[in-house]
Amino acid sequence: MPPLTTNEKIGIGIAIYGALLATINSIIQFVTHRKDRADVILRARVNMVTSDNPDRTLVVITAINRGRRPVRIEGIAARRFDTTMSFLFVDIRPQPPHELTEGQSMSAYVPMDDDLADIETYFAYDSLNREYCHHMVPWYRRVISRYRRKKQSPH
C-alpha cells in the first residue's frame, strides 16, 4: 500500500474532527433534552400524624416537579391490587388542577384505613394523561395485578 499523500492525511483529519464534533454535539443535545423535560417525582409517607390529633394517622402523597418544564397536575390517586377501581383523593393542597413549576410541590392528605391496605401504586396524572408513579410493591406483583385487571376488563 503506497503512503498517504498530504491531501489524504488532511482529509482524514477533517473527517475525524467532524465525527468527534458531531458525537459531542449529540451528547450535549441528549443531556439538554433530558434536563428540559417534565420530571415529577412522587413520594408517599405512611403512618404520619398531626400535632393536633395524634390518634388519626395519615398517608401524605407529595408530587414534586424537579424538571425545568412546568407540569399541570390534574389529580392524585391510588391504584388497588387486582381491580380496575382506583381511589381519587380530594384533600389536595393546593387544589388541582395546579401548575407545578420547577421545585414546586403539591400534597394529598389521606386518612389511613382498611381501604388503603391493598394499594399497589400511588400516582399523579397531568393534563396530558401522563402518570407519575410511586410503587408500593415489587414489579412482579404489579405485573400479576395488571394481568388480573385485564382479565376483569369488559373490553
Of 99, 98, 100, 122, which is closest to residue 110 (Cα–Cα)? Answer: 122
Least confident of 48-52, 114-118, 129-133, 146-150: 114-118
Q: What cell does 155 get?
A: 373490553
pLDDT surpassing 90 at residue 5: yes
Residue 24 φ/ψ, nearest 5 degrees:
-65, -40
Q: Does domain 38-152 have CATH number 1.10.3470?
A: no
pLDDT recorded at residue 83:
85
- Yes or no: say if 135 and 142 are a contact pair by the CB < 8 Å rule: yes
The whole-number average pLDDT for the span 82-91 is 88
Position 126 confidence tier, pLDDT thresholds 50, 70, 90 = very high
d(CA 97, CA 87): 17
The identity of residue 155, as a single letter, is H
Q: Which three cell numbers stand for residue 90?
A: 380530594
Q: Quick one: pLDDT at residue 68? A: 86
Instruction: Output DSSP code: residue 89.
Output: -
